[in-house]
Homo-oligomer: A and B are copies of this chain.
């Protein structure tokens, strides 16, 4: 199947019937019918439908080098700056559709897998077959428009051993409990597989530490499996979808990407799905040399921009409806959003302008502006939400529902809740949107999620710092100024 449409996406997920647990009970029927998934899946189906719509198909797909079919453009390895531009346009198209609210818009994992694929040869240094596995898996995903979640963080408890009563020590860290002719058998738990249940497969790998390890950990592994393999169990968090009404819950009813705890209990991972085994250093090199974080950051920056544009629009519309657009305090706040938006846009542009080919033939965007964006967005996003709260004030607290506009009080509502140049029903819709983004449980999770998208701040900052190769240049300029020799 080439680039799929919405129905195909939904059908495949429903067919898989993974073992999903929600509030203590296993989900029985079709996932797409469940209140915790329905809205999200319908939103994602819209994205996939765009792939087959004449208006968008050209921009969202490209011709498969193996089958000639149109396949998802985010799978495409960029080889020229024009390719990067095409990729960006594709990602902005989807980003503008979901307004940056989907951290796991399919192009994110597609991009990550593409990055790994370009550097597959590295894996062959250990055993040639691993490189082969990865290449074939990438092709399989591309040609079948397989969607992915991923997992690499283990629960906190995995970090310490437990002393059992009989004196033995038990670790709950994920591990290979058996290795046989069919594959490896894995047990353990991983945190926060976002959309694990609404994607086809899951990619599991070790965390991308920023330093090279001294010795390989023989227990290291990386693999990908369908989300319904025997022994895999998905535990859902609290659903943040507050209801069906798109008026009352404009975001949570459509964009709540379920996060899951995924439990592996003696799961047999077939050999052809194993990419790394017992080699931390190779795994680390795969990350750094494939440009994984760079390619992904290119996609993410497109998403950030969509979200910032949406936020700016909300804030401007609020100010207008409150007739406050010209107050200095508003100008100051709105300008802060503009500043952030223009900064993000400039960083994106700079990342492409400074792109250069890597040794795998990829046109790699300049990581300096991209990783700069990764440092600043987690700080400015919460600040933007604060702006919405400060501007909206009681208008964000006192939010009546759609039903109130149908009830007996309708006339009063219309009279008392209207805004400047906007009727009460529309203004309330706007403020419910502002609430859902800035102050609802859905909004709370979005803020938290953005804070940690690429790791906690020390990780993100260190990634930028360690890779910043111009450090010596700037020290050299100072030495020159001081008339000191640069050794």
Q: Report which A residues bind B (CB closer than 8 A).
A: 21, 23-26, 96, 99, 153, 155-158, 160, 172, 189, 191-192, 233, 235-238, 242, 248, 250, 259-261, 263, 265, 309-310, 312-314, 316-317, 320, 322-323, 328-329, 331-332, 334-335, 338-339, 342-343, 345-347, 349-350, 353, 368-369, 372, 375-376, 382, 386, 389-390, 393-409, 412-413, 415-420, 424, 426, 429-430, 433, 435, 438-441, 443-445, 447-449, 451-452, 456-458, 461-462, 464-465, 468, 471, 474-479, 481-482, 484
Minimum distance in angstroms from A451 CB to a CB of chain B? 6
User: How many of these chains are in the complex?
Assistant: 4
A425 nearest in chain B by CB position: B484
> B408 contacts A26, CB within 8 Å?
yes
> B397 contacts A250, CB within 8 Å?
no
> B317 contacts A342, CB within 8 Å?
no
With contacts A233-B412, A396-B448, A429-B484 known, what are 10 further pairs, Cβ within 8 A? Answer: A21-B407, A24-B406, A265-B412, A313-B478, A314-B478, A331-B462, A343-B347, A390-B457, A397-B448, A439-B441
> B445 contacts A439, CB within 8 Å?
yes
Contact flag A313-B475 (CB < 8 Å), given A156-B419, A346-B343: yes
Which of the residues B426, B439, B458, B484 comes within 8 Å of A332, measured between beta carbons? B458
Residue pairs across A and B with Cβ atoms less than 8 A apart, 15 shown, are A26-B408, A156-B322, A157-B416, A189-B416, A192-B398, A238-B435, A263-B409, A310-B477, A313-B476, A320-B475, A331-B465, A342-B350, A346-B347, A389-B448, A439-B445
Minimum distance in angstroms from A343 CB to a CB of chain B? 6
A413 — which chain B residues lie within 8 A by C-beta?
A: 235
Bound Cα distance A56, B146 (Å) = 57
> B412 contacts A339, CB within 8 Å?
no
